[in-house]
């Protein structure tokens, strides 16, 4: 287990802390503060220990990529794009100052905004005792995300001068080997996690290493290609593997079924066959849809019930049917461990949300009966929030890509640099 802020003396120390305040912004206004709220317990604990100062750092989008996308969108619409447009866009989406102002209200304490991530040591040294400050978006510096170790180290070395102790509570970026998430630790004497990081490790790691059996893994979403590694990792410990969403149709086609106009990755038919073969060898039960809720077109919101595995040529699968849900129920309710990553239908449309809603309620019920449940991945988290069931799960992960890579069994750079106990 990683060491946390509770394992070190923080009194009188300068704390440099990586948080994940990469919150959705619109016109300079925070749209969802879930990630800010998730970091508050650690931040408040640190403040209570009377440190010399607490300096927070985070990224907010990716300025270079975000501007490029906005420019392409504007030009596609026939609009002229200027440097002034780029600056206005960045100020509304990538500047940390509005986030700092919002965060200060949530914290109930003044937070000093530092207008750059680098060159701030003098300003930090001049902060009053016990002050909280936050740097500008770390990704305004190319060194933050550089693939070159030396470039990242240059930035990390300077960031390290801002504190005596490095605290990483940004699980959402723990899979990134960036200057502010991992490289900084090389230049710090003390590197520990926050409570959010501790909780993520506590719940996700056992699912990969030694879960309570029987274990059911529910893997959904659009594409097999993005979930190959996690499927292979979970095969090691799962008793049942539920494969839903668009990716299920690649597996059904691999089994020789007709899938109509459903989403399919023909390049991964062979991969699907290999995974099905491995599951058979390991005696892992694979559950694929046996009936469907379908539509003629993706934008068509009129559902068509298909009471069979095979789909007619004119329809595409958009959700699972009641027979499939009954199979899910049998597996989920018998489980002691449940991992859920990815919806089993296009739950954004009300007519195709029933399967994912049923999964959410079943996992919540199983959790209430004593099962350990971990929900990870942006769409799965959105689903449990949509159905107001997040509080009924053992753990809902804050990191989409990070939780997926953790479930794949990968070593995450932002966790690997932290001290263990």
Q: Residue 139: which region, alpha, beta or left (left: phi > 0; alpha: psi -120 to 50)?
A: alpha
CA–CA distance, 335 with 199 (Å, rounded to integer): 22
What is the strand order of the sheet 190-193 is part of?
111-114, 131-135, 53-57, 14-18, 165-168, 190-193
The answer for residues whose C-beta is within 8 angstroms of residue 137's C-beta and 6 or more apart is 58, 59, 60, 61, 63, 94, 95, 96, 117
Tokens of 262: 């459903």
Under 8 Å between Cβ of 355 and 235: no
Determine how many CB atoms are found less than 10 A away from the CB of residue 69.
Answer: 12
Tokens of 268: 């991964």
CA–CA distance, 409 with 212 (Å, rounded to integer): 17
Residues with catalytic function: 35, 223, 378, 401
Determine how many CB atoms are found less than 10 A away from the CB of residue 105.
Answer: 9
Under 8 Å between Cβ of 398 and 42: no
């Amino acid at each position: 287990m990683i060491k946390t802020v509770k394992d070190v003396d923080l009194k009188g120390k300068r704390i440099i802390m990586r948080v994940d305040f990469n919150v959705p912004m619109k016109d300079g206004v925070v749209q969802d503060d879930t990630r800010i709220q998730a970091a508050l317990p650690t931040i408040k604990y640190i403040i209570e220990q009377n440190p010399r100062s607490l300096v927070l750092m985070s990224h907010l989008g990716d300025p270079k990529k975000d501007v490029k996308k906005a420019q392409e969108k504007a030009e596609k619409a026939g609009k002229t794009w200027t440097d002034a447009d780029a600056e206005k866009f960045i100020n509304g989406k990538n500047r940390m100052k509005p986030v700092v102002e919002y965060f200060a209200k949530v914290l109930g304490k003044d937070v000093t905004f530092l207008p750059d991530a680098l060159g701030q040591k003098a300003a930090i040294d001049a902060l009053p005792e016990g002050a909280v400050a936050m740097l500008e978006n770390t990704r305004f510096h190319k060194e933050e995300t550089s693939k070159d170790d030396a470039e990242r180290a240059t930035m990390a070395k300077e960031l390290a001068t801002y504190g005596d102790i490095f605290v990483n509570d940004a699980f959402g970026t723990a899979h990134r080997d960036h200057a502010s998430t991992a490289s900084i630790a090389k230049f710090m004497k003390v590197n520990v996690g926050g409570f959010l990081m501790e909780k993520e490790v506590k719940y996700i790691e056992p699912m990969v290493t030694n879960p309570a059996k029987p274990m059911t893994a529910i893997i959904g979403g659009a594409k097999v290609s993005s979930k190959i590694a996690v499927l292979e990792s979970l095969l090691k410990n799962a008793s049942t593997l539920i494969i839903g969403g668009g990716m299920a149709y690649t597996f059904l086609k691999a089994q020789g079924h007709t899938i109509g106009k459903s989403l399919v990755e023909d390049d991964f038919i062979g991969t699907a066959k290999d995974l099905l073969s491995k599951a058979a060898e390991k005696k892992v039960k694979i559950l694929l849809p046996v009936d469907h809720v379908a539509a003629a077109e993706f934008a068509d919101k009129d559902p068509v019930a298909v009471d069979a595995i095979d789909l007619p040529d004119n329809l595409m699968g958009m959700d699972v049917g009641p027979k499939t849900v009954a199979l899910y129920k049998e597996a989920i309710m018998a489980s002691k461990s449940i991992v859920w990553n990815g919806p089993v239908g296009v739950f954004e449309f009300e007519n195709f949300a029933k399967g994912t809603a049923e999964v959410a309620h079943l996992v919540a019920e199983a959790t209430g009966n004593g099962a350990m449940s971990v929900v990870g991945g942006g769409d799965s988290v959105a689903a449990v929030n949509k159905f107001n069931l997040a509080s009924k799960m053992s753990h809902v992960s804050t990191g989409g890509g990070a939780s997926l890579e953790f479930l794949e069994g990968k070593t995450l750079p932002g966790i690997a640099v932290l001290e263990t106990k």
